[in-house]
Structure 1
């Protein structure tokens, strides 16, 4: 068996990929998203109670239909990152990356020597030895995402994007706008310029720019701007919105 970087393959084939944050800790939701043709899912450990045993089932559910699963950790803790990769995640997303030292710290945790300091394992990650060239292929197959969502990260974006091994810098627009003093005001000139600066710096460094969106129109606009990795929903947010619409519609019909 040979390892593959499935997300890069999808980007090379289509020019961009669309995904979802999954905060429900529910493998069935991952399976449905994958069945519908979603390219990737961010399995959110930062803002949910998701644990490793459930995560493995979520990863498997996505793999059934060829969807890439990338856990987002809740802390910049190397033991957690390594365990996530050892159980077979296709990549990793780390929030609140503020500078080049943070990015190097992450690379040391997730990449094997000589690029990093990750230790060997014999579990699900290397498919219990089925990947014959696991050590030589794993670094290229792993998709590593650093989130830029603070003023510090914005000021050091060239150092973050320039760190060897970083595949993508993903903009968390909510936290970035909040830290800039313009909460959720993505039309504020300073926020617009910050987002554009991050995208341009990524392109100059040969790193893939990514961003969070919440509507199809917003996603299409960002893709046309040059973002190649775009999330379009959160599964719990979508469930909340759609269930509320159903409830309100029934009340409306009954009041006629």
Structure 2
């Protein structure tokens, strides 16, 4: 028996007709993950950095998304070779490594996702979901074709080094995180509402594109998402399960609570 894996994020980017639209799942709920996977989005980001779940839980989240025509990406907690190895072995084909500040950081991430002699990833595919327990023929010698690496730029240092980061061989895409970038620049909580942060995002998009590497931005405000698409972003993430539930429930309750308050004097 020989199984085939889904195309990697790298492959999807290469074959796209326009900007890719992504959503997040952060709750750790397989039901929420499946709902987001069935939304019609191109990409699903499973957040292992801030989500309240561990590496073992990622298997269920990936399985929930598997039947849908969506590309799943798993953000690992840190640029750590042990964590990256474990998340890859869950079957995560596409990993996002946060807080990459310079070319050396990017090179460490590349090393962690590759088997020797090209890298340092431990070989355990026969024991793991990554190679479907030996059912993906030639997984180990062809592993680079089954895995993609996206690195995240989200500090002032990384913005200055954006072209060098993108130029590291083995980096398939760059993802910009405006929230941490704003904090790094001295504007916590402001995001791209702060003009200096918006300028830094625009400069990073231009720098990464100059290296002919795909670049994306996290943009939960619709106008921001369109702004970065217009600036040349190849992909944007536009919402998360937690924020959709939080803001949507608040809006719905406020609508009826307002009606209740308006009619209070009639009793």
TM-score, normalised by the number of residues in structure 2? 0.89
> 2:119 corresponds to which residue?
116
> 2:185 corresponds to which residue?
180
> 8 Å contact 1:5–1:143 — kept in the other structure?
no
Is residue 203 from structure 1 mapped to residue 205 from structure 2 by the alignment?
A: no
Gaps of 5+ in 2: none
- Over 3 Å counting, the alpha-carbon distance change for 1:170 and 1:63 in structure 2 is same
Gaps of 5+ in 1: none
Q: 2:56 aligns with which of 53, 56, 60?
A: 53
In the alignment, the residues of structure 2 paired with residue 34 and residue 154 of structure 1 have an alpha-carbon distance, to the nearest angstrom, of 31
> 1:213 corresponds to which residue?
219
> 8 Å contact 1:16–1:229 — kept in the other structure?
yes
In the alignment, the residues of structure 2 paired with residue 189 and residue 219 of structure 1 have an alpha-carbon distance, to the nearest angstrom, of 16
TM-score, normalised by the number of residues in structure 1? 0.92
In the alignment, the residues of structure 1 paired with residue 223 and residue 192 of structure 2 have an alpha-carbon distance, to the nearest angstrom, of 15
Instruction: Choose 1 or 2 for highest CA Rg.
Output: 2
CA positional deviation for 1:107: 1.0
- Over 3 Å counting, the alpha-carbon distance change for 1:48 and 1:36 in structure 2 is closer
- Over 3 Å counting, the alpha-carbon distance change for 1:167 and 1:143 in structure 2 is same
> 2:154 corresponds to which residue?
149
Q: 1:168 aligns with which of 169, 173, 185?
A: 173
In the alignment, the residues of structure 2 paired with residue 192 and residue 243 of structure 1 have an alpha-carbon distance, to the nearest angstrom, of 29
Q: What is the root-mean-square deviation of aligned Cα atoms in Å?
A: 1.8
> 8 Å contact 2:81–2:121 — kept in the other structure?
no
Is residue 78 from structure 1 mapped to residue 97 from structure 2 by the alignment?
A: no
Greater Cα shift, 190-199 or 168-177: 190-199
In the alignment, the residues of structure 1 paired with residue 72 and residue 161 of structure 2 have an alpha-carbon distance, to the nearest angstrom, of 28
